[in-house]
A and B are shown apart, each in its own frame.
Chain A
Amino acid sequence: MAYSLSQAGFSVVVLEAGPRFDPTQYPLNQADWERLPKTFSASRDAQRDHYTSGPKEPLNPQYRHLQSWTEGEKVSVNKTHRAPPKVYRVKGVGGCTLHYQGEAHRFSPHAFKSRSLFGYGEDWPIQYEDLEPYYDKMEKLLGVAGDPNNPFKAPRGPFPNPPHRLSCASQRFKQGFDELGLQLHQNSVAILSRPYDGRVPCNYCNGCSQGCMMGSKSSMDVSLLPKAEATGNTRILANATAAQIQIDGEEKAKGVMFFDEKKQENFVHAKVVVLSASAMESPRLLLNSESKAFPDGLANRSGGVGLYFMETMFHDLTALFDEPIHSHKGLQIDARCWNYNFPNPSQSFQAGVVFGVSPLGLIGPGAYSKYLVHGWGKSHKDQMREYFGRTLHLFAIGEQHPHPNNQVKLDPTERDGFGLPVSQLATQLHANELEMLNFMAIRGKAISNAARVKRVLGEASAYDLSGITHMGGTCRMGSDPQRSVVNQFCQSHDVPNLFVVDASCFVTQGGGDSPSLTIQALALRAGEYLAKEARKGNI
């Protein structure tokens, strides 16, 4: 939004709760990089970033076989409840794109019509065709690399950059997919495969999640925000935590109260307020902005703020191969399998699922010794040699149906370091999700068997664990102001000069695709609309 509005000549102030990072200071070039604190977790301010969870969720014993396990560690047979929600996020200039793996997926056309096509969730008030030009534009801005000939995706023109070659590790796992008649396809990623827009291409260090030192991953801090600042129209205030959106007598937003880096209270006046704080923090800010006119939270006359929270449904299998596959080298996620992205009515669940392969955190020997190789002495050393560079994760991400009871609320008692009520996440798995997780586990094992992996070293499942990287819902878009929070341009139904532009406005989750590119395309579209309406004097 900052990019699009500043390009259109509007004056923009960005309030960013976290710091501004310097990519050259990421520790990936240090000998002891695995021992150093992770760049983005080290920056977290526990008091500022606090959140709580709702009542513990009991595990459904019928699916006990999905319980997570790791080789060499005893599985607790007495585990009765799911782990509390754990959200992975970054507060900093560039937000979660600082640690994302660069995946740049377009949602498929069917993902916008799940109610009419498959009978679950809701249809979006927009279709793929509405978003397509903005997907195109955003891909060009980010220099997305990919193969346009993906039969599971909508027909499209060429990507701005050619696809990355599959890593040795992905080529090896592909044999299993091939044997089952599945397609492990080159992923589309906002990671440069050749010099582009003044930035250098990726050198395949695999450290995307710890911040790209090369600037080859198009995180917002190195791609769009510098362009926004270069216009002279955008000012970014780092370490500025938005606390409350205030309204005037006409029920319009008049600005934002925030705490600056010295934790002093400040106020910034604005003609328009755009909220892009994530599906957890955006509803929290609205709920914390209650007033006489909006006693249940700002822009919440529908009562929908915070509802329909969708978390990340995942299954992960750690596979060990006989031979070296150099799994520490490459891109974090260079290959995906979209065969199950289109929900299949003959399955026991209704949702899209996408498989992928990745080393995830296993990119240096320290991580192997910490997470996988537990013994000591000669056997430890032998096992390190047996595992290093031969271990790869096969994972699946699927969509969670939007349920009104899965929600972000304000915790009635807990406060953050500024004295503001924190978010309380209440999520629950329903029968559809459990069946989907079961499917992921069964298919994952079949694929790894077909790939002739030497051994499975562990499995992790959203059945009993929580690892929320993709989240959505909570300020969903829709045409009916009684049943949605924002309209198709992410504009509040209740407060016309307030926009919520992040995954909060998602109606469904895109069948397992990564959300970033869709958030970014929605932002370009909303920015264009906002600029047009503002010029007409309608906002």
Chain B
Amino acid sequence: MAKPIHVLNRRKVLVWGGMVGALLLSGGTLVRWLYKIDALPDLEHIHEPLLEQSFENFSAYEATVLHEVAGLIIPADQHPGAKEALVVVEFDQMAKNNERFKVLCQQGVRWLDEIANDLFQVKSFLQLDCSAQTKILLKADVPLKTVWEKISDKIQYGETHLGYTFFQSLKQQTFAVFYAHPMGWMTVGYHGPPQWSGHLDYHICV
């Protein structure tokens, strides 16, 4: 009697499982190497020139991308926004003592460029207009749902939820920095820290 042929046996499952696992673990590094994502993208046709301030913890390119994103998070209207308040300078200071924040910002900038390339076939987030940039941030604002999305994110960027984590963190810090700045206070009609002036008009409603 002929021996039955098993398409899958225990050994094959173990071997293939191991290979998939190894790919998942090394995927981020591999793809980073393949993509050479540390390289600066082509900066022709960017909408704004790079910031000229000297940054200690970010390159001028990274700082400019962060600056743009902050400006989309809190745009200027009749009052200044996060760009006018130069919140990116504070991000640079924060990065000095917070390695995790620094790395997240740097990875986030690369993620934005990747998505810009995927969706709009440009090499830099900075080459997009405001509406296209907003589309990318909207994508970043939604947590990944399916397991496949998460695995794919891990393989492609070395971290699950990179775009989401980066954007949530930057949003939170943009709010915190902007509303600790006189330009942020002006936006909502706040007059500054509680002391030493206090609010002696607290009982007046007009």
Contacts and interface: CB of A to CB of B under 8 A. Distances in A.
A207 B195 contact: yes
B176 A380 contact: no
A172 B205 contact: yes
Nearest to A167: B202
B77 to A, nearest CB: 6
B199 A329 contact: yes
Interface stretch (B101-109, B151-159, B185-193): B185-193
Say what secondary structure dominates the interface of chain B. Answer: loop
Contacts, number: 130
B72 interface: yes
B73 interface: yes
A28 B194 contact: yes
Contact of A365 (B188, B196, B201, B202): B188
B190 A29 contact: no
Interface residues of A, number: 45
Most chain A CB within 10 A, of B134, B180, B181, is at: B180
Interface residues of B, number: 39
A377 B176 contact: no
B195 A28 contact: yes
B75 interface: yes
A30 B182 CA distance: 12
A187 B176 CA distance: 33
Contacts of A33: 180, 193-194
B10 interface: no
A483 interface: no
Contacts of A378: 75, 77
B200 interface: yes
A46 interface: no
B84 interface: no
B191 to A, nearest CB: 10
Contacts of B205: 168, 171-172, 324-326
A365 B176 contact: no
Contacts of B15: none
A34 B180 contact: yes
B177 A35 contact: yes
B124 to A, nearest CB: 21
Contact of B190 (A172, A213, A328): A328
B134 to A, nearest CB: 7
B204 interface: yes
Interface in A194-231: 202-207, 213-214
B158 to A, nearest CB: 26
A208 B66 CA distance: 36
A204 B180 contact: no
A384 interface: yes
A31 B180 contact: yes
Interface in B111-150: 134, 137, 141
11 contacts: A28-B193, A31-B182, A203-B196, A205-B194, A326-B204, A329-B202, A366-B179, A370-B172, A376-B137, A377-B134, A384-B188
**Top 5 nearest A-B pairs by Cβ distance?**
A203-B198, A329-B199, A205-B194, A369-B175, A329-B202
